[in-house]
Every structure is written in C-alpha cells, then in structure tokens.
C-alpha cells in the first residue's frame, strides 16, 4: 500500500455544502489539507476558501484549479427532495453528469495536474428492487431510472482516466448521521415512541455511518492503490425490521402498523421505490484494502446516533 505522506495538499470540493461535504471538509482541514469549495454563494461565511461556480450558466472561477492536488465531486440534486416528475428526474441526472463533465473540461482547459479525482456514486447503480442477491462492484448495472443515472454518472467520472488521473468512485449507500440526511427523517417520530416500518420491512438498507464514509474519502486521496469503484456501505446487512428491533433495544417504541406500499406509492409516486425496495450490497472489496470500519455493526452506529 502506497500512501501520500505530505499532508499539506490542496483539495477542491464540488458539492461541499451538503451533509457529506461539510463533514469531509472539516476532516480534511483537521488532517492538514487546504480545502477549497466550489459554490454559487461566495459571500457566505466559511473557514474554507470559496470559489464561484454556476453549472446552469457553465461558469466557474478558473483560479479554483490553481495548484490543486485532488478534486472531489459530491454534486448532485437530492433524490428525495421532490416528487419525481420528468423535470425533477432530468435535474437529478444532469446535476450529476453535467457537473462531472464540466469539471473534466475545466481540468483539461487549465491543464491541471491532478493526483486523483474522487467522485460520489450510489448503490442505486445496481437497481432499485429487493432480492437475495449480494451485489459486488463487478455486478451489472440495473435498468431503472436511478441505475441508469448512476451508470452515466460513473461513465463521466472515468473520463478522468483519459488524463492519466487516478480515479475513484464511491458507490454510497444510505448515509446515517445525526446532523441531517436520511436518519433524522427515518427517526423523526421516535419522540412520540413510534418507528413505522415501510412496506413489508424486508427491504435491505445498504447503510453507512458518516464517520466511515468521510474516512473512505480520505483514504481515496491518500492510498494510491485505491482505484475504480468501491461500495461505500457498512459490512452488516440491515433491513427495516432489524433496524426497528435494534432501536427498540435502546428506547421504547409503541406497537404501530407498517405503512403499506400502496400508500407510499400514492403519496410519493415513483420515488417511493427508494424506500420500499433494497438489496444487500457487499463491502468486501474496500475492507480488503484494508479499511477498518468504526461502525461496522448497526448496534454500534445506533449507540452513537441515538445519543443526544
């Protein structure tokens, strides 16, 4: 394993204002990196260097690229932010693919010599359905909307290899964090003693604690043996039924009926698929790097997540 020893490196992050971006920026700064953020709002208060970009207008301050060592792309419209109209689906796709293509073009035009490009990806690559199959990085892409989006997203990312840039894509599962994202939404009713199971509850939740995801991104920068795609998920497979069982061990939950699939589909439309379906995704490849999970088991994660 070859590691980058000099910690004083420059990292440019696109999408640095989101849940993962904020946690990653802080961790990189703690490790001694100079962190730069691409943002539409350069007038906001920040402890990082801010550079303007606007994908809708194809604008970017090219000085952001000066002397950077690493480029991380976390850009992408939140898939659960709005009902999936045709317009919203187009936004989900283009926000990921276009941002990656735009960054590639910028690196090409500025002749920036990158040490590595690291892109977010998603386990949605494998398709949104429930099965007994365990998906690994070499499994075929699915055929639904999210799978096709993820496949095009990755295709755009691996264009960086044409520039002889080491490229890593982290196919990320459901990120569990106290500070935002899926977990607070999933547990918002716990204050009332309620944790409703969605559908039949047997669908897998390929999850990862935000601490481990951030450390994966750091390793992707520092470990020169790390290339291509990795599933960014915890080793333990979890479904809604198991999650409810583990939560019940930690706090009281009233008996409560599951929310039927037809109701979620009526309310959310096609977007309900990301809640009602899910298969097991393997973390074996990244474990063999090696990567040591701090939160490998859901019990360890819940001990931290449910602590005030």
Listed residue (42, 47, 147, 143) closest to 93, CA to CA = 147
Main-chain phi, psi angles of 60, to 5 degrees: -160, 140
Residues in the chain, overall count: 308
Angle at 121 between CA 116 and CA 125, to 5 degrees: 135
186 C-beta neighbours (distance < 10 Å), count? 19
> What is the reported pLDDT for 40?
87
Quickly count helices (H) and strands (E) in the chain. Answer: 10, 12
pLDDT bin (cut points 50, 70, 90) of residue 2 is very low
Angle at 57 between CA 55 and CA 62, to 5 degrees: 70
Across the range 149-176, mean pLDDT stands at 97
Average pLDDT over residues 189-208: 93
Q: Select, from the ranges 46-60, 153-167, 181-195, the one with the highest average predicted confidence (pLDDT).
A: 153-167
49-83 per-position pLDDT tens digit: 999 999 888 899 999 999 999 999 999 999 988 89
Phi, psi of 11 (to 5 degrees): -120, 125
Distance separating alpha carbons of residues 295 and 303, to the nearest angstrom: 10
Full set of structural domains in the chain with CATH: 10-305 (3.40.50.720)
Sorted by sequence, the CB contacts under 8 Å of residue 114 that are 6+ apart come out as 68, 69, 70, 71, 107, 160, 163, 165
How far is 12 from 21, CA to CA, in rounded Å?
11
pLDDT value at 258 more than 60:
yes
Q: Is the model's pLDDT at 201 over the cut of 50?
A: yes
pLDDT in the model for residue 8: 76
């Amino acid at each position: 394993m070859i590691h980058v020893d000099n910690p004083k490196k420059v990292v440019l992050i696109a999408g640095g204002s989101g849940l993962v971006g904020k946690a990653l920026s802080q961790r990189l700064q703690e490790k001694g990196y100079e962190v730069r953020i691409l943002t539409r709002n350069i007038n906001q208060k920040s402890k990082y260097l801010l550079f303007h970009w606007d994908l809708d207008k194809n604008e970017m301050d090219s000085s952001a690229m000066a002397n950077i060592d690493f480029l991380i792309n976390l850009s992408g419209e939140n898939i659960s932010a709005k009902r999936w109209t045709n317009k919203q689906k187009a936004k989900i796709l283009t926000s990921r693919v276009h941002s990656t293509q735009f960054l590639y073009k910028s690196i090409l035009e500025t002749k920036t010599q990158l040490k590595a490009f690291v892109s977010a990806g998603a386990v949605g690559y494998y398709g949104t359905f429930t099965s007994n199959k365990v998906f690994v990085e070499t499994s075929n892409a699915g055929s639904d909307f999210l799978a096709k989006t993820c496949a095009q997203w990755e295709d755009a990312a691996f264009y960086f290899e044409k520039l002889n840039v080491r490229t890593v894509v982290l196919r990320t599962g459901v990120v569990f964090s106290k500070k935002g994202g899926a977990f607070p939404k999933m547990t918002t009713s716990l204050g009332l003693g309620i944790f409703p199971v969605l559908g039949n509850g047997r669908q897998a939740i390929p999850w990862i604690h935000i601490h481990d995801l951030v450390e994966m991104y750091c390793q992707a920068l520092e470990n020169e043996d790390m290339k291509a795609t990795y599933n960014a998920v915890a080793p333990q497979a979890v479904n809604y039924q198991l999650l409810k069982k583990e939560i019940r061990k930690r706090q009281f939950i009233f008996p409560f009926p599951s929310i039927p699939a037809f109701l979620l589909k009526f309310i959310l439309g096609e977007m309900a698929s990301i809640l009602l379906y899910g298969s097991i995704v393997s973390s074996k490849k990244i474990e063999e790097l090696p990567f040591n999970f701090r939160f490998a088991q859901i019990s360890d994660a819940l001990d931290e997540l449910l602590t005030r």
